[in-house]
Amino acid sequence: MKLWTTCPKSQARYSDLAVETALILRTVFHQPLRQTEGLVGSLLELMGLDLPVPDHSTLTRRSRTLTMAPQAWPARGPVHLLVDSTGVKLSGPGEWLVEKHGTQRRQAWRKLHLAVDAKTGTIGASSLTSKEVDDAAELGPLLDQVDEPLGAVIADGAYDQDRVYDAVAGHSAEAAVIVPPRATAVLSASAETDPTQRDHRIQAIAEQGRMGWQRTSGYNARAGAEGTMSRYKRIIGDTLRSHTRPVQEVETRIAVTVLNRLLDLGRPDSARAA
Supply the pLDDT for residue 151: 94
| pLDDT tens column, 190-224 | 989 999 999 999 999 999 999 999 999 999 999 99
Q: Are strands 13-14 and 150-154 parallel, antiparallel or unpaired?
A: unpaired
pLDDT of 119 above 50: yes
Interatomic CA distance for residues 126 and 84, integer angstroms: 10
Sign of CA dihedral 49, 14, 239, 97: positive
CB 168 within 8 A of CB 150: yes
| pLDDT tens column, 251-265 | 999 999 999 999 988
CB 136 within 8 A of CB 161: yes
Core vs surface per residue 98-109: b (16+ CB within 10 A) or e: eeeeeeeeeeeb
pLDDT of 62 above 70: yes
The residue among 28 and 13 whose pLDDT is bigger is 28
Short-list 134, 91, 93, CA closest to 237: 91
Interatomic CA distance for residues 248 and 110, integer angstroms: 9
Interatomic CA distance for residues 184 and 218, integer angstroms: 22
- Domain ranges across the chain: 4-63, 82-242
Short-list 25, 34, 99, CA closest to 60: 34
Specify the 3-state DSSP secondary structure of 237. Answer: coil
Sign of CA dihedral 145, 132, 214, 263: positive
161 φ, ψ (degrees, to nearest 5): -140, 150
Interatomic CA distance for residues 72 and 146, integer angstroms: 9
pLDDT of 21 above 80: yes
Q: Which alpha helices (H) appear in the chain, and where do they start and end?
A: 16-29, 33-46, 56-63, 95-101, 139-143, 162-171, 197-208, 210-217, 223-235, 245-266
Alpha-carbon distances, residue 121 vs 4, 169, 218, 261 (angstroms): 33, 23, 16, 11
85: left (phi over 0), alpha (psi -120 to 50) or beta: beta
Short-list 115, 104, 196, CA closest to 154: 115
CB 117 within 8 A of CB 80: yes
Confidence of residue 100 (pLDDT cuts 50, 70, 90): low
Confidence of residue 104 (pLDDT cuts 50, 70, 90): low
| pLDDT tens column, 42-58 | 999 999 998 888 898 99
